[in-house]
Chains A and B, each alone.
Chain A
């Protein structure tokens, strides 16, 4: 079976500084791969080379049978890779429907003029969220009035509504309380069951073990090791993060 995403020999140099030296890994459909590593290990740089924010100095990325390297961030999103940033990039003052459709709003013509189809977008949002197991108490309320888990769900809903095949999540539980962290973990499970591939960045060990199908540990810009959660333990992962020899 060919991988959904395959990164080969990624390298990124900023001036004289090699942030990423040599990183290769695959992600399969419906699989959650965790990129673990200490600060400065190169996790974010790797992600940005996949999402098109950076162009790799060397190496390439293939996705769904096509070569992505060198394409724009916009083109990569259209190809089906969505990145959910820590800050979620939601417009807090708008309802879930408008957030779901932000930038691609639905309109209806009336007397020749386009009017936003607010109700329709709201209904779609409720449907997509329901498929993620989230019930929104009041879909007309701005998303600022919702819980951290619900807000995360809206960001994820936006990704899957636009047919993302791979979702990159950057520290999704970092700012959340314990119950909300659980909600996010449940969301990840549901995404996997829809066949969506996930790359999760985290340095929270319980999250890593709860979500991962495979753990790829980065240290100082290289892959320090790859493990399945069942074959390893906290201690070994931490040692790998610290760059200890294997």
Chain B
């Protein structure tokens, strides 16, 4: 306890850096808005809703991914798992026509999620039973899901007319956009799963040392399959929300979000070697990226700067992660 106070202070600072960073950029954009326009940036419902919706899009891909990364793996296929489920949902709704009502939409949601889960099962099977490294395996299914989504969609965007679907994507309940509520519920469930259940402990242990869980009698293969199915599941929900928001299913719905989702997980404190990361961290990471995206657009800079900014934040996240490792190395 009486160890070097400076070191432990630095350690807690590094652990909380993503919170500090979030406050810093919010402060920056607020200051900028006040000076440039004399208006507030942050304290407007529109800003908050826009940031929250952008963050929820990223989160739906990043939440399942967090679990996979904590277990020491990666899932690149989510980019097109999202697109695949978006397209499948749109096709089901189109098949029954605009008069189908809620029954059709609920069926479409179910079939869309099922399509995503199939991708997850394939990923899990490849990694757990065929021992394919997850980076390569999910890069393969990234391509397959992309191709299949484009084929079933006939190479185009599948537009639909459905008020019910639109309500899912654009509805607002008590001031909260539906996509935000959905992401929040998934985030709470996954946070519980990772921090309070045996499944979560085994996921952390798996990321640190596979032998530890194996010798403890845990069925590691089954565990891996469940992880990849969960990852595909949240990415699939992201696809369903996309189809609802834009009244169209597109194969590339998730492609631009993949980088952001991976970034959110690492900004949130995860490590490439596994064994680290939290759902709360990933939520902060997603919000940071959404603030950067929206703030840059708001401040009138060319939107392409968001790629540069997010890239820089990823590098900072990795540097912070490494200095944290070095610190714990020194203290032991």
- Residues of A at the B interface (CB closer than 8 Å) are 74, 77, 85, 87, 89-94, 98-99, 102-105, 107, 113-116, 137-138, 144-147
Question: Shortest Cβ distance from A231 into chain B, in angstroms?
Answer: 37
- Can you list 14 A-B pairs, Cβ within 8 angstroms, ordered by A? A89-B212, A90-B212, A91-B209, A93-B208, A98-B201, A99-B212, A102-B205, A103-B218, A107-B198, A113-B196, A114-B197, A116-B195, A145-B328, A147-B332
B1 contacts A138, C-beta separation under 8 Å: yes
B196, B209, B212, B275 pick with most chain A CB within 10 angstroms: B212
- Central interface residue in A103, A107, A147, by most chain B CB within 10 Å: A103
Indicate which residue in B195, B211, B217, B331 contacts A103 across the interface (CB closer than 8 Å).
B217
- B305 interface hit (Cβ, 8 Å): no
Chain A residue contacts of B276, Cβ below 8 A? 93
Within 8 A of A (CB), among B159-212: 192, 195-198, 200-202, 204-205, 207-209, 211-212
Contacts between the two chains (Cβ within 8 Å), count: 77
Q: Is B213 an interface position by the 8 A CB rule?
A: yes
Chain B residue contacts of A147, Cβ below 8 A: 332
A93-B207, A137-B1, A138-B1 as given contacts; A103 in contact with B275, CB under 8 Å: no
Measured between C-beta atoms, what is the minimum distance from B326 to chain A in Å? 13
A90 to B209, CA, bound (A): 7
- Taking residues whose C-beta sits less than 8 angstroms from the other chain, chain B's interface range is 20 to 34
CB proximity to A under 8 Å, residues B209-242: 209, 211-218
* Residue in B closest to A158 when the chains form the complex, CB atoms: B216
Chain A residues whose C-beta falls within 8 Å of the C-beta of B201 in the assembled complex: 94, 98, 102, 105, 116
Q: How far is the CA of A172 from the CA of B33 in the complex (A)?
A: 63
- When distances are taken between beta carbons in the complex, the residues of chain A under 8 Å from B196 are 113-116
> A92 contacts which chain B residues (CB < 8 A)?
208-209, 275
Known: A102-B213, A144-B332, A145-B328. A91 touches B208 (CB 8 A): yes
CA distance A137 to B198 in the complex (A): 25
- In the assembled complex, how far is the CB of residue B269 from the closest CB belonging to chain A, in whole angstroms? 12
Q: Which 7 residue pairs are nearest across A and B when measured between Cβ atoms?
A: A103-B216, A91-B205, A93-B275, A102-B216, A91-B212, A93-B208, A115-B196
Distance in angstroms from B277 CB to nearest chain A CB is: 10
Given contacts A91-B204, A146-B332, contact A105 B212 (CB under 8 A): no
Alpha-carbon distance between A137 and B208 when the two chains are bound, in angstroms = 22
Enumerate chain B residues within 8 angstroms of A114, measured Cβ to Cβ.
196-198
A91, B328: Cα distance in complex, Å: 16
Is the Cβ of B212 less than 8 Å from the Cβ of A116?
no
Q: A94 contacts B216, CB within 8 Å?
A: no
With contacts A90-B212, A103-B218, A144-B328 known, what are 19 further pairs, Cβ within 8 A? A85-B211, A89-B214, A89-B215, A91-B205, A91-B208, A92-B208, A93-B208, A94-B204, A94-B205, A102-B201, A103-B213, A104-B216, A113-B192, A115-B197, A116-B196, A116-B198, A116-B201, A144-B332, A146-B332
Q: Which residues of chain B have C-beta atoms less than 8 A from A98's C-beta?
A: 201, 205
Q: Is the interface of B mostly helix, strand, loop or mixed?
A: helix
Question: Which residues of B sit under 8 angstroms from A144, Cβ to Cβ?
Answer: 328, 332
- The interface residues of chain A lying within 8 Å CB-to-CB of B216 are 89, 102-104
Contact B209 A89 (CB under 8 A): yes
CA distance A99 to B215 in the complex (A): 12
Given A103-B213, A115-B196, A116-B198: A94 touches B208 (CB 8 Å cut-off): yes
Q: Which residues of A contact B195 (CB under 8 A)?
A: 116
Determine how close the nearest CB of chain A comes to the CB of B298; give it in whole angstroms.
39
Question: Are the C-beta atoms of A87 and B211 separated by less than 8 Å?
Answer: yes
Is A74's CB under 8 angstroms from B208's CB?
Answer: no
Complex Cα distance, B259 from A81, in Å, reads 48
Q: Are A116 and B207 neighbours in the complex by a CB distance under 8 Å?
A: no
User: When chains A and B are docked, how far (Å) is the Cα of A237 from the Cα of B163?
Assistant: 85
Complex CA gap A172/B207 in Å reads 24
Interface centre among B196, B213, B214, B328 (most CB of A within 10 A): B196
**Nearest Cβ on chain A to B100's Cβ, whole angstroms:** 36
Question: B204, A105: Cβ atoms under 8 Å?
Answer: no
Render B145-156 as a binary contact track against A, CB cut-off 8 A, 1 for contact. Answer: 000000000000
> Which residues on B sit within 8 Å (CB–CB) of A91?
204-205, 208-209, 212-213, 275
Q: How far is the CB of B190 from chain A (nearest CB, A)?
A: 14
User: Which residues of A sit under 8 angstroms from B215, Cβ to Cβ?
Assistant: 85, 89
Which chain A residues border B200 with CB–CB below 8 Å?
116
- Asked if residues B209 and A74 are in contact (CB atoms below 8 Å), the reply is no
**A102 and B1 contact, CB distance less than 8 A:** no
For A105, list chain B residues within 8 Å (CB). 198, 201
Cross-chain contact A93 with B213 (CB below 8 angstroms): no
Q: Which B residues touch A103, using CB under 8 A?
A: 202, 213, 216-218
Q: Which of B197, B198, B212, B217 contacts A74 (CB 8 A)?
A: B217
Closest partner residue, chain A, to B198 (CB atom): A105
Partner of A89, one of B207, B211, B332: B211
User: Contacts of B205 on A, CB cut-off 8 Å?
Assistant: 91, 93-94, 98, 102
Measured between alpha carbons, how far is A78 from B212 in the docked complex, in Å? 17
CB distance from A73 to the nearest CB of B (A): 9
Is the pair A93, B217 in contact by a Cβ cutoff of 8 Å? Answer: no
Give Cα distance in the complex from A104 to B276, angstroms.
Answer: 21
